[in-house]
């Protein structure tokens, strides 16, 4: 499939990545992580940023060599066989569908504060439908819209940091200096090391979405140049914004007052009587979530097309057009189903974010393992786009991801997400072997039909030859008899 228009620039890729990453998981979901880990959450965000740095550069090495629209799914299939490509592609796709259903739920929770009579399932469904339809516009138009929305939420985080600093210093009108505030009264690690490890799921989930750079690389302008630049912009921008905003937040509000139904930023500003700023951030938060869903749907549609092209999804989802309309519409429909599933489970938002987070952790683990195989086969690449510290950096990422997964039950509400995530991996692993078995049965059946058909044609030809020989023999005898009669 050739791209007719000019490809995406490094800046457009960065804004698309930031648009996917900065969403409800940070503005709303971070409440759960901060409450669980206390001030030690700063370590979790620094640690998460380091993992993202290693994973992104591991992905970029493979992306620059092969900017395939299937991205990490294709690379995993090359490294470990088609089965791994099938499983990681479907697990990632399902995890992102659940994650985006959680984002739609987050919007519903926020809007319900202003309009308590509105139906949350109805509102969430309307949001998913709008996001799906907007994605049908194509990469170029979507990237422009995404850049604007991403800029709004980055501005909101910066604005919160500025207001928080004014409160800390004591410059904000009518409010005495906060100083280190609540940080002085908080134990650094109230839940111990395991609570920090358990919070890593949501922390890494708040960084999730950066892999859209790999999925969009096939539509980038000069991938070898733009992809490394986009990765640097994304990593350093995210880590800086997250760490600074969480640090100033911890001075303003006790972690015990946080919950998953209120943005920690809004709760902190309301605590100091700055309700107008909290309302403004709530509005921006809704914009941020829509931005995240738009960018995520971009990657989901292309992942589904890649799966269909490899024969890992139904033929109907194959799409030769530049915009994968069928993959986008199918993903949107499944988001609606995920939203409905979430409302059947207690603490709907936490279930969706934790199950989606597990799927993303699994994907990042596969990316890292794939990169190890990639390096062994291709060696150390030239240029700026390479992972430093290999193989120790890759092993560090793999071990960290495993620890984060097994620590999920130590954070209240995440056990169900762990079970759902493991069920996803098992289900898709089994479905691959079932699909492979059925294909082999069909193939053998077709081969038998061809063999039987060939045998039938051979027997028919043999019978015809025998009849023709017999006919010729009889004709010859008759002619000989006539000649004898004449004599």
Q: How do residues 364-390 score in pLDDT, each as one tens digit? A: 899 999 988 888 887 776 666 677 778
* pLDDT recorded at residue 216: 63
Give yes or no for residue 3 having a pLDDT over 50: no
> 135 versus 349: which is more confidently predicted?
135
Percent of the chain with pLDDT over 90: 2
* pLDDT recorded at residue 2: 42
Tens of pLDDT, residues 201-223 = 778 778 877 766 766 666 666 76
The Cα-based distances of 339 to 168, 184, 207, 260, 360 in angstroms read 40, 41, 22, 17, 18
Confidence of residue 1 (pLDDT cuts 50, 70, 90): very low
Give yes or no for residue 282 having a pLDDT over 50: yes
* pLDDT recorded at residue 430: 92
Confidence of residue 309 (pLDDT cuts 50, 70, 90): confident
Q: Average per-residue pLDDT in the chain?
A: 77
Burial level of 245, CB count in 10 A (0-12/13-18/19+)?
buried
Q: What is the pTM of this model?
A: 0.73
Residue range 179-188: average pLDDT? 77
CB atoms under 10 Å from CB of 12, counted, come to: 23
CA pair distance 86, 428, nearest whole angstrom: 8
CA pair distance 82, 75, nearest whole angstrom: 10
Tens of pLDDT, residues 333-343 = 988 888 887 67
User: In this structure, what token pair is assigned to residue 344?
Assistant: 């059947």
* pLDDT recorded at residue 4: 45
Residue showing tokens 């189903």: 337
Query: Domains in the chain, please, with CATH?
Result: 10-435 (1.20.1740.10)
Give yes or no for residue 113 having a pLDDT over 60: yes
């Amino acid at each position: 499939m050739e791209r007719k228009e000019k490809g995406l620039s490094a800046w457009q890729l960065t804004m698309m990545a930031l648009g996917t990453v900065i969403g409800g998981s940070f503005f709303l979901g971070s409440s759960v992580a901060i409450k669980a880990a206390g001030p030690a959450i700063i370590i979790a965000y620094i640690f998460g940023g380091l993992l993202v740095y290693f994973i992104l550069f591991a992905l970029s090495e493979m992306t620059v060599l092969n900017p395939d629209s299937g991205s990490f799914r294709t690379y995993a299939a090359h490294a470990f066989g088609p089965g791994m490509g099938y499983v990681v592609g479907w697990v990632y796709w399902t995890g992102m569908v659940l994650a985006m259903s959680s984002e739609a739920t987050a919007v519903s929770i926020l809007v319900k504060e202003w309009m308590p009579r509105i139906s949350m399932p109805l509102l969430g469904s309307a949001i998913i439908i709008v996001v799906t339809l907007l994605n049908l516009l194509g990469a170029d138009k979507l990237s422009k819209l995404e850049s604007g929305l991403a800029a709004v939420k980055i501005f909101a985080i910066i604005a919160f940091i500025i207001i928080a600093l004014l409160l800390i210093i004591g410059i904000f009108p009518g409010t005495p200096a906060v100083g280190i505030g609540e940080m002085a009264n908080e134990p650094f690690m109230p839940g111990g090391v395991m609570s920090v490890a358990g919070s890593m799921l949501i922390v890494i989930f708040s960084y999730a979405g950066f892999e859209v750079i790999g999925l969009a690389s096939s539509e980038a302008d000069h991938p070898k140049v733009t992809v490394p630049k986009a990765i640097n912009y994304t990593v350093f921008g995210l880590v800086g914004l997250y760490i600074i905003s969480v640090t100033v937040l911890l001075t303003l509000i006790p972690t015990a007052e946080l919950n998953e139904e209120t943005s920690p930023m809004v709760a902190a500003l309301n605590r100091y009587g700055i309700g107008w700023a909290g309302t403004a951030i709530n509005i921006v938060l809704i914009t941020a979530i829509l931005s995240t869903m738009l960018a995520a749907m971009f990657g989901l549609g292309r992942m589904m097309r890649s799966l269909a092209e490899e024969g890992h999804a139904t033929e109907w989802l194959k799409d030769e057009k530049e915009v994968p309309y069928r993959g986008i519409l199918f993903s949107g429909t499944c988001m609606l189903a995920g939203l409905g599933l979430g409302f059947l489970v207690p603490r709907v938002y936490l279930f969706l974010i934790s199950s989606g987070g597990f799927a993303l952790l699994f994907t990042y683990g596969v990316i890292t393992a794939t990169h190890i195989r990639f390096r062994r086969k291709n060696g150390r690449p030239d240029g700026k786009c390479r992972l430093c510290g290999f193989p120790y950096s890759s092993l560090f990422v793999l071990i960290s991801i495993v620890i984060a997964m097994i620590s999920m039950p130590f954070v209240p509400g995440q056990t169900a997400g762990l079970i759902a995530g493991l069920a996803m991996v098992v289900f898709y692993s089994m479905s691959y072997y079932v699909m492979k078995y059925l294909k082999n049965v069909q193939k053998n059946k077709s081969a038998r039909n061809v063999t039987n058909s060939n045998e039938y044609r051979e027997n028919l030809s043999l019978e015809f030859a025998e009849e023709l020989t017999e006919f010729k023999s009889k004709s010859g005898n008759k002619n000989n008899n006539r000649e004898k009669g004449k004599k």
